[in-house]
Amino acid sequence: MDNFLNFTEDYCREVANSCTECGLCVEACPVVPLAGLESQDAGQLVSGLKSLSEGKSSTSRASDWLDACNGSGICNDVCPENINVRSWISGLRTIQDVSRTPERDRRKASSDKFRAMSQAIRLLSSMQLPPDVISKITRTKGRGPADVVFYTGCNVLRTPHIVMNMMEILDALEILYEIAGGTSFCCGVTQHRSGDIGSYERVASRTSRAFEEMKAQEVISWCPTCLLQFNENWVNYDKPDYAMAHVTQFLHKYLDKMRSQFANCPPRRVVLQEHDGIPGVTEHVTELLASIPHVELVPVKQNRNFGYVCGGIGETYPDIQRENYRMLLEGAVAAQADCVVTIYHSCQRMLAGAAAQYPLNVLNYTDLISEALGRPSYTDIYGTLARVDTMDTIIETVHQLLKENGVEPNHSQIELVANQMFGEPGFYGSKEEFVKNLEKKS
């Protein structure tokens, strides 16, 4: 624990020395007014960060700003000193968590969150895939040095059809790849955000060593949070031998090859749900979709600056997230689009049930690329469950897959997953009915 924590303290002090206290990061931050900090002097808030970096108390509300951060990354774009302000804030939050909360409590919180996530992922993936496919998308192929490691992360396994799409795309491009996915290859974000630094260092180190042993030229991360954890927190400390990029950056390099393979697809007017926060991702997906025959991208007003991804920010600012979705979906309907396309897996989950309320389909961009390449299609069972009008039709399939996977969920496990699923804004219908039907089948 002391190694990473000491590094983080040194890193924050070093960054603080480069900061000129101009306050541009505060002025650009989308959560400042939401946290009630708009009346604070921007320079004083940044000065407070510098004081915290030096181990001193702050006379400003800098700690409140740390707590409110949604990781949008807009601060990075405006900093004239090219400071990674998001990474600085992440480090200070870690230091703050360690100082605020006893280690035993931090470790328990970390363990409880990780256990709940693991149980939910196991149950949800077992509800959607047969056992041989689960093994295929979570274990390395073991066929020697590969061009890339396709790093899925953990939570995309809640919507595993996306992983299957990506594998089809990589196969179509004749990429030699290893796959690393599931909780065995965790990035450590749960431990890091809980202030459980000892566990974070062990988890991140184990996954990082696994990447190095695969000896690939590049690791491509599906999950944006995993990418940020490794590229903004871990890489400065560990300095691994591999480079990590987002999958969209990798796919964009093969755009010309994909264009030559794209077949005619059904005409579609699509709205892409956009996110800033990870440079180039939205732009790459836009260009990929625009290259598919008969796909017309329709621009609509949306809030692309509010967080680098859907999901966690909604727990802190649920009203803002719901308003963002309403603006996006109503804008898509008004523009006579027939489809909303998501970039990330959490966005797919959050919007999955929109077809129950709007005359729109919700697809991931990998659905469209895989289709255009003539690859097999995979059902979004999670999205089917999210729609109140289709849930009953899929329960029998879910039950059969659980049986094949040897999973017999008890009431508390079903409740755990139901609470997570129906706690998301994209889910409609009755949680109680879902629990009753699943328990009846089990």
Residue 268, φ and ψ in degrees, nearest 5: -140, 140
The identity of residue 442, as a single letter, is: S
Q: CB count, 10 Å around CB of 281?
A: 23
End of a domain among 253, 282, 300?
A: 253
Asked if residue 442 has pLDDT above 80, the reply is no
Tens-place pLDDT, residues 328-382:
999 999 999 999 999 999 999 999 888 888 999 999 999 999 999 999 989 898 8
Model confidence at 118: pLDDT above 70: yes
| Mean pLDDT in residue range 11-30 | 95
Tokens of residue 282, six digits: 């939205």
| C-alpha 362: how far from chain center | 17
- The DSSP bridge pattern shows strands 339-342 and 361-364 to be parallel
Is the confidence at residue 254, as pLDDT, over 90?
A: yes
pLDDT tens digits, one per residue of 203-222: 999 999 999 988 887 999 99
Domain boundary among 52, 70, 100: 100
pLDDT at 141 over 70: no
Burial (CB count within 10 angstroms: exposed 0-12, middle 13-18, buried 19+), residue 118: middle
Instruction: State the Cα–Cα distance between residues 256 and 268, nearest whole angstrom.
Output: 21
**Stretch (H or E) spanning 340:** strand 339-342
9 in the same domain as 65: yes
* DSSP-derived secondary structure letter, 208: H
The domain in which residue 239 lies consists of 103-253
Residues 169 and 310 grouped into a single domain: no
Question: What residues form DSSP beta bridges with 351?
Answer: none
Domain boundary among 253, 287, 311: 253
Q: What is the pLDDT of residue 164?
A: 96
If pLDDT is split at 50, 70 and 90, which confidence band does 389 have? low
Q: How many folded domains does the chain comprise?
A: 4
> Which residue in the block uniquely carries the two structure tokens 């400390």?
237
Q: Supply the pLDDT for residue 142.
A: 57
Please answer whether residues 59 and 72 qualify as being in contact, where contact means their C-beta atoms are separated by less than 8 angstroms: no
Give the max Cα distance, the chain.
63
CB of 421 closer than 8 Å to CB of 350: no
Residue among 237, 236, 230, 255 at smallest CA distance from 149: 230
Band the pLDDT of 319: cuts 50, 70, 90.
confident
